[in-house]
Amino acid sequence: MEGIKKTYMDTMEKKVLDLLKDGRENKSDMSDSMLNEAFEKMWQETVKTLLYTELQPQDIMTRVLLHLRTNLQSRGSSVAQSLDKVKDLCSQGHGNFVAHKGNIIYKKWYAQWNKTVQEMSDNLIGDCREFIKAKSESKDDYDDTYIREILNMIDGKLKAHEDLKLKKDFELSLKLHICGFASREFQNIHSRFIQENNLSSFWNTDVISEFSLEKSS
């Protein structure tokens, strides 16, 4: 992407200098609006000469849900039926996750084990948020390996705590919660990448700034 931008800038710089040179030599009195119009026309012509396809926004939240469905395929009919009712992740992952009494097989152990289950859940959620934060701080676009890694983290944590005898419904609830907030963050990562790397945004920032400098010199 940086290489493409440099190619565009080098091409545009030459055209801008030629335009300004012609104007000075011919002593033409072009207003700023006329210069801007000429410059934008040059920009559009330059874009057409170079091979580049605008990045298209993707529905990352739907992709995350599809990965969650794949991950839970082997969890039985009860989980499948519950997951079928989830049409999107928009309402998932808000607020704090609470381990409910019904998610523990032996309910008489609820008071004793509730703290352990909640702490395990909170620690896992914290780890997932740290993972997402690290990805968000990079300049890379979202990749499906991100959500696969999140799901692997959850599976690993649940396997390490099999002694808690948690129901499959608990796994579903926990994964829905984490995938809910993860999907929104991943969508933001993708949207930001599109915004920063599409040439339309490049036109609105780097190119216009460069043109303004050339005009004032």
Q: Are residues 170 and 183 in the same domain?
A: yes
Q: Are residues 81 and 141 in the same domain?
A: yes
Calpha distance 111→113 (Å, rounded): 6
Q: Are residues 117 and 191 in the same domain?
A: yes
Q: Are residues 65 and 149 in the same domain?
A: yes
- Give the model's pLDDT for residue 20: 60
The token pair at 164 is 């808690």
Q: Are residues 47 and 20 in the same domain?
A: yes
Q: Are residues 105 and 38 in the same domain?
A: no
**Contacting residues for 64 by C-beta, under 8 A, at least 6 apart:** 89, 147, 179, 182, 183, 186
Which residues constitute the domain of residue 70? 60-195
* pTM as predicted: 0.73
Calpha distance 46→211 (Å, rounded): 14
Q: Are residues 148 and 41 in the same domain?
A: no
- Give the model's pLDDT for residue 9: 60
End-to-end CA distance of the chain: 29
Q: Are residues 162 and 190 in the same domain?
A: yes
- Give the model's pLDDT for residue 89: 98
Is the CB of residue 104 less than 8 Å from the CB of residue 165? yes
- Give the model's pLDDT for residue 200: 55
- Give the model's pLDDT for residue 153: 98
Helix (H) or strand (E) holding 171: helix 168-197
Q: Are residues 16 and 121 in the same domain?
A: no
**Spans of the chain below 70 pLDDT:** 1-13, 15-32, 35, 39, 43, 46-53, 101-110, 199-217
- Give the model's pLDDT for residue 34: 72
57-114 confidence digits (pLDDT tens): 999 999 999 999 999 999 999 999 999 999 999 999 999 999 876 555 555 566 777 8
Q: Per the structure, how many domains does the chain have?
A: 2
- Give the model's pLDDT for residue 53: 65
- DSSP annotation of 167 reads -
